[in-house]
Amino acid sequence: MARVAIVTGGTRGIGEAISLALEDLGFTVAANYAGNDERAKEFTDRTGIAAYKWDVGDFQACQDGCAKVAAELGPVDVVVNNAGITRDGTILKMTYEMWDDVMRTNLGGCFNMAKATFPGMRERKWGRIVNIGSINGQAGQYGQVNYAAAKSGIHGFTKALAQEGAKAGVTVNAIAPGYIDTDMVAAVPADVLEKIVAKIPVGRLGQASEIARGVAFLCSEEGGFVTGSTLSINGGQHMY
């Protein structure tokens, strides 16, 4: 029986590319989404991948959602924590709600999903968790103290949880994408985007499929000796 993978934020953008890549690898994929029912239905109709709606920032919703996936598709052996939101603004303009919303979804979602699935992975002696960080969690970004803090927190979360899973056959890794050609980046004003691309040594935005291929490797049998790592896929924009 095929292993089951949950991809949060899995019906669009980078998440959609990851869902498709894992399906191609032979996983049974459940694509989680938060709110856009129409987009989720279109995704399922087009790909055949089941979509499940819940808020990853809600602890109990993650418990219930993961239990539903397990009951319908089988035990969850792979989780890709891709769901993320932005609420940008300088700290002078940022409200507590803007801070809390981003921390709750982007970082809290990783904890909530791990709590719901990590124990089962350990019991079955096989599992893969891949957390999607960001170049802005590594290098910082003006006007994104909430987003940068949450994404930076993901990198620390990954290293710590990797140590808890290693002996039980559960790997935990992160990918830090640079600027990828998605709806989120398309919303950036053209003149600002031009300046961003000028700072990318390879001279272009990344493609969602390029992130997905990295996730697919980390989730594969071949990725079993990689854990606690952050793979930067950013066209050389940030090197360290």
Average pLDDT over residues 184-206: 89
151 is a domain residue: yes
Q: CA-to-CA distance for 92 and 45, rounded, in angstroms?
A: 44
Catalytic member of 33, 52, 147, 179:
147
217 is a domain residue: yes
- 5-32, pLDDT tens digit by residue? 999 999 999 999 999 999 999 999 999 9
Q: CA-to-CA distance for 115 and 22, rounded, in angstroms?
A: 22
240 is a domain residue: no
239 is a domain residue: no
| Confidence tier at 190 by pLDDT (50, 70, 90) | confident
Confidence at residue 212, expressed as pLDDT on a 0 to 100 scale? 98
| Confidence tier at 219 by pLDDT (50, 70, 90) | very high
Confidence at residue 27, expressed as pLDDT on a 0 to 100 scale? 98
Confidence at residue 186, expressed as pLDDT on a 0 to 100 scale? 79
Which domain CATH number covers 197?
Answer: 3.40.50.720
On the question of pLDDT at 1 being above 80, the answer is no
Neighbours of 11 (CB within 10 A): 24
Confidence at residue 61, expressed as pLDDT on a 0 to 100 scale? 98
**Cβ within 8 Å of residue 42, ≥6 positions away:** none
Average pLDDT over residues 172-201: 90
Confidence at residue 185, expressed as pLDDT on a 0 to 100 scale? 79
DSSP 84-125: -------TTT--HHHHHHHIIIIIHHHHHHHHHHHHHHHHHT
225 is a domain residue: yes
Q: Is 179 a catalytic residue?
A: no
Residue with the two structure tokens 């940022």: 94
Q: CA-to-CA distance for 237 and 196, rounded, in angstroms?
A: 9
**Could you tell me the residue range of the domain that residue 141 belongs to?**
4-233
Pairing of strands 76-81, 230-233: unpaired
Q: How far is CA 231 from each of CA 75, 126, 211, 228, 235, rounded to the nearest angstrom?
A: 27, 21, 10, 10, 12
Give the single-character DSSP code of 199. Answer: T
The total number of structural domains that make up the chain: 1
78 is a domain residue: yes
70 is a domain residue: yes
Q: Is 203 exposed, middle or buried (0-12, 13-18, 19+ CB in 10 A)?
A: exposed
68 is a domain residue: yes
Pairing of strands 76-81, 127-132: parallel
